[in-house]
Amino acid sequence: MSFFKKLTDTAKSTANTLSSKSQELYTTGRLKIEQTQIEGKIKEKKTQLGDLVYKAYASGQEPGSAATAVCEEIRDLEKQVAELDQKMQEEQAQGQQAPGPQAAGEQQPLPRQDSPQQSATAGVNCPRCGAMVTPEGKFCPGCGNQL
């Protein structure tokens, strides 16, 4: 079964390559390249899986544990692709968090809300314009609002 032997060797070398690369510091560009490479490997594995299944079918057998092993490798590779996606998103988010030139010093003073007609003397202020009205008055002298 030279096919299975070859498959195992490929899987080992794949694992070694990935574990040594994960020690490095990445930039988004390199992450993208790595992701593309892994996606290529996934396609390769799927082709191998197809071969495996078909060969088993052609010889009247079940695909068996060899096919399961390839499926597990594909699942691991897809997990790595997802992890790279997350790393790239984190790096992009960090880039966007950098403070812009207009972050500070742009606050404008709020306009004062005090009504010029407000007075400290006893009485009632018109709810519409704030003018002072006598408690007996039915209409505001300032705006004519019915009280």
Binding site for Zn ion (CB under 5 A): 126, 128-129, 131, 140, 142-143, 145
Q: How many CB atoms lie within 10 A of CB 10?
A: 16
* Least Å from the CB of residue 138 to Zn ion: 12
Neighbouring residues of 137: CB distance < 8 A, sequence distance ≥ 6 = 147
Nearer to Zn ion, 16 or 115 (CB): 115
Nearer to Zn ion, 28 or 145 (CB): 145
Bridge-based pairing of strands 132-133 and 124-125 is antiparallel
* Least Å from the CB of residue 147 to Zn ion: 8
Nearer to Zn ion, 21 or 128 (CB): 128
* Least Å from the CB of residue 94 to Zn ion: 56
* Least Å from the CB of residue 128 to Zn ion: 5
Residue by residue, DSSP assigns 2-40 as: HHHHHHHHHHHHHHHHHHHHTTS---HHHHHHHHHHHHH
Residue 114 near residue 137, CB atoms below 8 Å = no
CA pair distance 34, 128, nearest whole angstrom: 67
Nearer to Zn ion, 40 or 127 (CB): 127
Instruction: List beta partners, residue 146.
Output: 139
* Least Å from the CB of residue 135 to Zn ion: 15
Nearer to Zn ion, 31 or 124 (CB): 124
